[in-house]
Structure formats: structure tokens, C-alpha cells
Amino acid sequence: MRMSKSVLIEQINVAIGSIRGQALRTSLTVGIIGMGIMALIAMVTATESLKQNIRTEFSSLGTNSFSIKAKRQGGFFNGRRAAPTEPITYRETRRFTKLVGTELTVTSSIFASGSAVLSRGSKQTDPNIQILGVDGNYLLVSNIPLSKGRGFTLTESYEGASLIVIGANIEKKLFEPWEDVVGSNILLSGTRYVVIGVIESRGASFGMSQDNQCLITIPSVRRQFSDNNRNYNITCTVNNPEKLSESSDLATGAFRMVRGDLPGADNSFELSKSDALVETLLEATSGISIAASVIGIITLFGAGIGLMNIMLVSVSERTREIGTRKSLGASARAIRTQFLVEVIIIGQLGGAVGIIVGLALGNMMASYFETPFIIPWGWIAIGMTLCMATSLASGYYPARKASLLDPIVALGRA
């Protein structure tokens, strides 16, 4: 027999009245459940915030990008000497950029020299300056920050304007602190360039200083250093990191056309994605999420035992109430439902308190580590479901025990 809506509403009202009448006991129970959910949500919120920060930070460093390079020259493969491949030329980079159009943001670069000398008046650098020829998208795609000035425009990079962006060490070597760097003239191996920007100090990488680097336009490299038999590197970025695989397939097809690779033949170039590091870091933080989930579930298991004990005490203290209701015609099912409604309400109250406090603590930890504010809606739903399951599991036995009480025996108890 189905329970009518009015009867269910009445049972909910009775349950709420009973909860209010046992405020201290209810508060303790809510606190126990809230602690379990709080531990779960706080840890998950902090780790999800960390994951989001990893995606954001490393995406800006190139995890939403891939690069195209010529295959390594020479060497052996399967016991045979690998055939040398033709270098990627400037003409091929231009054709590829036009071919992909607006689907990708493309930049190309070429290594010009690793032992150049820059001078200004009587000052000059050591012969260890690295020169790169780049286009107008290079700073944007590579996410290289500037401390002063600006980068190349697309027009300047295409026309080969005699402009240069210098590294932080070069600024210290050639300029005094009070001198204006941007707009000054310097000589690169005897050729005059105008400084338009200074790269922010980035320290050393693999034992080599990145602050001894200069950027000039690709046509300037072709004029001054020549690009015969030199390889150009191509880097592409996508707006949506989720489409990285799809975009890399598009780029592969387009560059095969540019290189004239025959159908069925191997690529005459290498395409490498740069998202392996972020995947490794996300796997590490996933372990933290799993640990937080285990801690939360164990705490909820303890909370369920506490809730069951409290409800058993409640049944023993309310035998007269149960006997009165049964003598007035309440069925065993109605009594059982009443107690189940009580534990569900208490469980959901505990879950709500735990979620609110957990979100606050999790985002406080996120704020301390300067990671973004986040609300893990999926885990909130999981938390409320766990509260419901815990409430039903821990409340069924006390509810069943209450429903099986003999009304005469119940009324006879003091």
C-alpha cells in the first residue's frame, strides 16, 4: 500500500519536531557526519584547485601546443643507417602557415648563432650570445614575457625590420640602470639594430642561461647569417587544449602536403606534443584526491556507527511515543519511515554543514598556495549521496527495531 502525500508530510513534520526536541544530540550527530564530508570536500577542493592551476600555468607554457621539426639527421634504426631528411625551409613554413589559416596559431623560428657578440659604444658582450630568428607570433606562442618594450609586429617580422629584442643579461652588460634601453641602437656582429624590448629574466635551463638570448626577425637572419641548410622549427598552439590531438592531426596532414610526402610513406618530419608533463602532474594530484576520498569514507563510516548508536538510544527513549502512535493505528511501516526520515534529515544537514565548511577550508588552502577558487560540483553530489547512503545504512536497523515494538509493552515502560 502506497503512503499518501499527507501522511509523508506529517511524518516529516514529526521527524523535524523530534530533531528540534533533541538539539544537542542532533548537533553532535550533524557534527560527526559533517567532519567526514568536510575532510573529503576540503581535500578534494584543494587538489582540484591545484589541478586547475596546473592546467592554466602549464597551458601558458606550451601544454596546448605542439612543435614540428625535421627528423634527426643520420644515426641508425633497426640496424640500418637512417636516411638524412631535408631541412624545413623558410618557404615551407610560409606555405604551412597559409595552409592552416586561422585553425591554428603558428610561429616559426630559426637558430642563427650561439656565439654572437653585441656591442654598444665601448661596451660589448662575451661571444656567447644566442641569436634566434622569429616571426611576429613567437613571443605570444612561446609565452615569453617582456620586462620592457614590445615584440615584433607581423608586418615588421615579414618585412625584416632591423629590430631586436634582447635578454636581461645583455641589458645589464650594455646599459647603465638609468639609461633608456628601448629605442637605443646596438650592433650585432657589426650590423645596427634598434632595441624594441627586453626579455624578462628567466634564469638558466639545462646549464645554459636564457638571459643571453636575442631575437631578431627571420629576414634579418637570412640577410646576415644565411639560412642555407638550416632547419626551421614550427610551433602551433590551439585555443582549446581538448582539441590538441585533433589539431595535431590537421597539422600533420597539412605539413605532409607542404613537404610532398607520398601517401603511405613515413613523415619526413617529427611532430611532438608538449602535454606529457602536465599529465604526469595531474596523475600525482589524482593520488591526493584518492587519499582524500579514502579518508572521507573512513570518517563517514565512523559517523555512520555513531549515528546508529544515537538512533538506538533515541528508540529506547521514545518507546512510549512509539507505543502511543501504534495504538492509534500507525503501522510498522509508518514508524519505520518516520525514523528513516529523521536519519535522512540529520544526514543531509551534516552533509550540508560539511560541504560548506569543506569548501571554505579547501579554498583557504587554495588561496594560500595562490591557486584559483573552485567549487567541485561533482564531488559535492558524491558527498551528498554518501550522506544519504550512510544515513539509510545506519538508520535502518534502529527504524526496524522501533517498528517491531509491541505497543502494549512500549506503553508499559516508564
3-state secondary structure of 225: coil
| Identity of residue 112 | A
Task: Tell me what pLDDT residue 232 has.
Answer: 92
Question: Which residue reads 502506497 in cell numbers?
Answer: 2
The DSSP call for residue 392 is H
90 and 219 share one domain: yes
136 and 171 share one domain: yes
Q: What angle do CA 401, 407, 408 make, to 5 degrees?
A: 130
**pLDDT per residue as tens digits for the range 90-142:** 999 999 988 887 778 889 999 998 889 999 988 889 888 999 999 999 988 88
Helices (H), 59-109: 90-100
- Grid coordinates belonging to 267: 613523415
209 and 290 share one domain: no
> Which domain does 244 fall in, by range?
65-274
Domain-ending residue, one of 274, 300, 323: 274
Q: What is the pTM of this model?
A: 0.53
Q: 292 Cβ partners below 8 Å, 6+ apart?
A: 39, 40, 42, 43, 44, 47
* Cβ neighbourhood burial of 138 (10 Å; 0-12, 13-18, 19+): buried
Kindly give the parts of the chain with pLDDT less than 50: 1, 205-207, 414
Cα distance between residue 252 and residue 69, in whole Å: 11
Cα distance between residue 205 and residue 200, in whole Å: 14
292 and 200 share one domain: no
Domain-ending residue, one of 257, 274, 291: 274
15 and 147 share one domain: no
267 and 283 share one domain: no
- Number of structural domains found in the chain: 2
Q: What value does the CA radius of gyration of the chain take, rounded to a whole number of Å?
A: 35
195 and 246 share one domain: yes
85 and 46 share one domain: no
131 and 208 share one domain: yes
Task: Tell me what pLDDT residue 165 has.
Answer: 95
Question: Which residue reads 650561439 in cell numbers?
Answer: 114
158 and 84 share one domain: yes
Task: Tell me what pLDDT residue 382 has.
Answer: 80
Cα distance between residue 261 and residue 232, in whole Å: 18
Task: Tell me what pLDDT residue 68 has.
Answer: 87
Q: 63 Cβ partners below 8 Å, 6+ apart?
A: 55, 241, 274, 275, 277, 278
356 and 231 share one domain: no
Asked if 232 and 255 count as a contact pair (C-beta separation under 8 A), the reply is no
Q: What is the largest CA-CA distance in the chain?
A: 110
Domain-ending residue, one of 235, 258, 274: 274
In this structure, are strands 185-188 and 269-273 parallel, antiparallel, or unpaired? Answer: unpaired
331 and 397 share one domain: yes
**pLDDT per residue as tens digits for the range 265-296:** 888 888 877 665 566 666 666 776 677 677 76
